[in-house]
A and B are shown apart, each in its own frame.
Chain A
Amino acid sequence: MTAQTQTTVPTDSNWIRLRNFILQHGFNIVLIFVLLFYSLSAPRFLTSANLISLLHAAAPMMIIAAGLALVVMTGKLDISVGSVAFLTSSIGTILMVRNGFDPLLTLVIVLVIGLLIGMLNGFLVVVLKISPLIATLGTMISLRGVGLELTRSTTISLPEDIRRLGNLTVGSVFVDSLIALAVLVIIHIVVTRTPFGRWLIAIGNGEETAARLGIRTRQVTYLSFILSSLLATLGGIVTVIQVGAASPSIGSGLEFTAVSVIVIGGISLFGGEGSILPGALRGVLILEIIRNGLNHLGADPYAYRFVNGAIIFIAMYADSLRARLPVTPRTSESSKPSKST
């Protein structure tokens, strides 16, 4: 056998470790700084009442982001979520207000419609093999069109009883916050503890590799789109109940916020990477805390977009850094200490 010289390990591991630490925990650091800053400069920011209302405001996005995260983990994208939320919640409102449907029946109908839309998205992506971005761009535009047509662009108020559900609390915590947290926990378990969840990640690692390992990538992808639409529907319902009316502005631009949340939460748009808890939750909270805090500070109205844009930019940049930097393989701990010659 020929002699092999051992390649020298580069000595920049400290720098790499720091870089990895920043990439891993950068947003936690940002979050802590932001919280600290707001707490010090806005006296009523760090009150339980405000934190509770913060969770309240974040509830719809938690639900929607949890669904979208499933699709993003496979390395795909569903930008129809905002329109799905708008259309389904509008249909629900119309059914109750104009046709006098029973609220529970309406809920079922609306969820079924959300499911059907998810099947449509899945069909476009999995069967017709349309690029997910294009396919869901199409459904995003057309579903919003349908919704505007159905509502004739009017704002339709919910029945008083239903509207009141938006401010329903258990103790002092809003019910929709609890629902949203429950959804996050369930989806977290789905991702980490069920074969389906692990297959999502596997597909995100590389669809072909996953297929070679015998994973039914088409079915898994299809199901991820269905879940995304279903949760977008649920998010839309929560939004409309909170707001008290189905208005044409519901869900417009929401897809971009949701994608920002995903990225800020450390879920890679390249797929295969990220978590619901704490990832997606953290993403929602960061965006909501920043907006809440700016409200508290009475910040210049023109600052909002800039700050949100900056946060999203940083998140995207971090994501692409993570994807670009080669992961330094650890020389396996297992290798026997005796160096062969």
Chain B
Amino acid sequence: MATPYLEMRGIVKRFPGVQAVKGVDLQAYAGEALALIGANGAGKSTLMNILGGVLRPDEGEIQIAGKRVEIHSPLQATANGIAFVHQEMAMLPTMTIMENIHVSSFPTRGGLIDRQSMERSTQAVLDRVGCQFAPNTRVQYLSTGDRQMVEIARALLSKPSIIIFDEPTSSLTSREKARLFDVIRSLKADGVTIIYITHFLDEIFDICDRATVMRGGEHAGSGLLKDLTIPALVHWMIGDLDMTQHAKKEVSQSTEVVLKVRNLNRRGILQDINLTLHKGEVVGLWGLLGSGRTEVARAIVGLDPIDAGQIEVNVGGSLRLVKAREAHKWIGMVTEDRRNEGLLLPMSVKQNMSLANLRGLLTRWKLVDTRRETALAQQFVERLNIVISRLGQPVQTLSGGNQQKVVVGRWLELNPPIFFMDEPTRGLDVGAKADIRDIIFELAESGAAILLISSEIEDIMALAQRYVIMHRGQIIGELPGSATRSDLMAAAVGAVPTAETGVTA
């Protein structure tokens, strides 16, 4: 290879308290796609935001085509031929494609928008990305994948020489993905430099030529993909971590099924979800952010609509078919976002805990029996070891761990046979995490079935007796409780595990 078209050297970026990027070098060549990968928080977004002019580096320099450039704003990035296709799309649904593409700077003639030139240039970029819809189609009629194409078309309008794709496939169907890859290939053929950020290791082998892996703000490794394998990349991503297992508390296994989900479908989000939970079991639902973990939980309890699927719940010893909305009766949901979804912050601990159970607390005059409300709340405050000054204390004044315990306590009042725990330890300190783990363990011990969703591998490894692996809205396999950390990491990025070998490419 000749000299790199883009070269970033010694880039350092500090945020208050953290050094997000610690002197990273990156080279990318014209006509080539570079995969930029790394775990969450590895610093890839920060690095690309520096290149895109969103952030300014504290140290280091950027060279394009051998010349040093200063990029201090997204505008300067554009001027230097850099385009950024963000993961989060900026679409104006009620406007047409051509308006969406040109909205930042309309071509005008005599103060009026020059529709013909707008249509022409739109048609040109749409052709480039292989879309055949008319430029004056309203974006609201487009599917998510098509909108992604429009987003890319918008980036192409400035005829960039470097295009950064940030997770472009996270919301695409396989067909749309194939189309995207066609576009990227044709861009490569035109000599454009592609930087491709993704979590999905499988697809980089399809479309990228080289990979740069980041870990903890540092450059962990680079190489041509034809020389690399998924395990090698995973190794770069997670490093030589201590592979010893956390002491896992074993719960006595039971074969009694309490929840059975069959062929759950939600268009564009979930596909053919089959899931079984047994009494007294902790199942880890494992996958990347956006793989559909939370969506599975929400769909089962009826928070999101489903298109198809059957849900059966064990009621009085036998499985019964229930509607999604009804399932909430048997499933306690401890949510990822406890502040917004789970708790009513200005209300008291007591009121928050009784909220799910108000109907059970009515006197015969259909008023809330405040004495029983207080007694129950007191009971669970003690059982969960919640530290509060009084039951009337507003929830917003509690620490995160205690707030989470209030959410758990709320469901304990109802004593459901099933719990969905969605990121129950997020944002908690070590002590509170341990408390929550203990509570989950106790719940399982007492016979509840628990579906645990967590991004924190320690959590899930400490508790789960088996893992259900999610990838792009599908369940792609299972791992036993004995799976190792690297098994899990590889599985998460889409390498389908088999029971025997653990990882395949």
Residues of A within 8 A of B (CB): 1-2, 4-5, 7, 10, 189, 193-195, 198-199, 201-202, 204-206, 209-210, 212-215, 272-273, 327, 329-335, 339-340
Contact across chains for A193 and B113 when beta carbons are under 8 A apart: yes
- For residue B95, CB closer than 8 A to chain A, the reply is yes
Q: A335 — nearest CB in chain B belongs to which residue?
A: B175
Contact across chains for B131 and A334 when beta carbons are under 8 A apart: yes
Taking CB atoms, residues of chain A closer than 8 Å to B484 are: none
Name the contact of A212 in the complex, choosing from B90, B143, B175 (C-beta under 8 A): B90
Give complex CA distance A125, B135 in Å.
34
A-B complex: 4 closest residue pairs judged by Cβ atoms: A334-B132, A205-B92, A214-B104, A195-B106
Contact across chains for A330 and B271 when beta carbons are under 8 A apart: no
Taking CB atoms, residues of chain A closer than 8 Å to B95 are: 198, 201-202, 205, 272
- For residue B174, CB closer than 8 A to chain A, the reply is yes
Contact across chains for A332 and B131 when beta carbons are under 8 A apart: yes
Taking CB atoms, residues of chain B closer than 8 Å to A7 are: 265, 267-268, 271, 307
Number of interface residues of B (CB under 8 A): 42
Contact across chains for A213 and B267 when beta carbons are under 8 A apart: no
27 A-B contacts, Cβ less than 8 Å apart?
Answer: A2-B476, A4-B174, A193-B113, A194-B111, A194-B113, A198-B106, A198-B113, A201-B94, A201-B95, A201-B99, A202-B95, A205-B92, A205-B95, A210-B92, A215-B104, A329-B141, A329-B146, A330-B142, A332-B132, A332-B133, A332-B142, A332-B146, A334-B130, A334-B131, A335-B175, A340-B175, A340-B178
- For residue B272, CB closer than 8 A to chain A, the reply is yes
Nearest-neighbour CB distance to chain A for B299, whole angstroms, equals: 14
Taking CB atoms, residues of chain A closer than 8 Å to B173 are: 4
Contact across chains for B92 and A272 when beta carbons are under 8 A apart: yes
Taking CB atoms, residues of chain A closer than 8 Å to B90 are: 209, 212-213
Name the contact of A331 in the complex, choosing from B113, B143, B496 (C-beta under 8 A): B143
Nearest-neighbour CB distance to chain B for A339, whole angstroms, equals: 7
Contact across chains for B174 and A209 when beta carbons are under 8 A apart: no
Contact across chains for B104 and A201 when beta carbons are under 8 A apart: no
Q: A205 — nearest CB in chain B belongs to which residue?
A: B92
Name the contact of B103 in the complex, choosing from A215, A327, A329, A339 (C-beta under 8 A): A215
Given A198-B103, A209-B92, A340:B268 Cβ within 8 A: no
Dominant SS among interface residues on chain A: loop
Give complex CA distance A339, B175 in Å.
8
Contact across chains for A1 and B142 when beta carbons are under 8 A apart: no
Taking CB atoms, residues of chain B closer than 8 Å to A339 are: 175
Which of A2, A5, A10, A215 has the most chain B CB atoms closer than 10 A to its own CB? A2
Taking CB atoms, residues of chain A closer than 8 Å to B93 are: 205, 272, 327
Extra contacts, 7 of them, besides A194-B108, A214-B104, A329-B140 (Cβ < 8 A), are A4-B174, A7-B307, A205-B92, A205-B95, A213-B92, A329-B143, A340-B175
Given A205-B93, A272-B94, A5:B99 Cβ within 8 A: no
Taking CB atoms, residues of chain A closer than 8 Å to B91 are: 205, 209
- For residue B335, CB closer than 8 A to chain A, the reply is no
Instruction: Please provide the chain B residues from 138 to 192 with a CB less than 8 Å away from any CB of chain A in the complex.
Output: 140-146, 173-175, 178-179
- For residue B123, CB closer than 8 A to chain A, the reply is no
Give complex CA distance A201, B138 in Å.
13
Nearest-neighbour CB distance to chain B for A211, whole angstroms, equals: 9
Taking CB atoms, residues of chain B closer than 8 Å to A201 are: 92, 94-95, 99
Taking CB atoms, residues of chain B closer than 8 Å to A10 are: 307
Give complex CA distance A69, B182 in Å.
43
Taking CB atoms, residues of chain B closer than 8 Å to A273 are: 94
Q: B104 — nearest CB in chain A belongs to which residue?
A: A214
Give complex CA distance A213, B130 in Å.
23
Nearest-neighbour CB distance to chain B for A172, whole angstroms, equals: 33
- For residue B352, CB closer than 8 A to chain A, the reply is no
Give complex CA distance A215, B106 in Å.
11
Contact across chains for B133 and A334 when beta carbons are under 8 A apart: yes
Give complex CA distance A282, B421 in Å.
53
Name the contact of B141 in the complex, choosing from A213, A272, A327, A340 (C-beta under 8 A): A327
Contact across chains for A202 and B92 when beta carbons are under 8 A apart: yes
Nearest-neighbour CB distance to chain B for A158, whole angstroms, equals: 36
Taking CB atoms, residues of chain B closer than 8 Å to A4 are: 173-175, 271
Contact across chains for A213 and B175 when beta carbons are under 8 A apart: no
Nearest-neighbour CB distance to chain B for A216, whole angstroms, equals: 10
- For residue B112, CB closer than 8 A to chain A, the reply is yes
Q: A273 — nearest CB in chain B belongs to which residue?
A: B94
Nearest-neighbour CB distance to chain A for B315, whole angstroms, equals: 31
Give complex CA distance A174, B252 in Å.
89
Give complex CA distance A212, B103 in Å.
11
Give complex CA distance A318, B173 in Å.
33
Contact across chains for B271 and A5 when beta carbons are under 8 A apart: yes
Contact with A along B185-227 (1 / 0, CB 8 A): 0000000000000000010000000000000000000000000
Give complex CA distance A210, B95 in Å.
12
- For residue B404, CB closer than 8 A to chain A, the reply is no
Give complex CA distance A201, B140 in Å.
13
Taking CB atoms, residues of chain A closer than 8 Å to B94 are: 201, 204-205, 272-273
Taking CB atoms, residues of chain B closer than 8 Å to A335 are: 175, 179
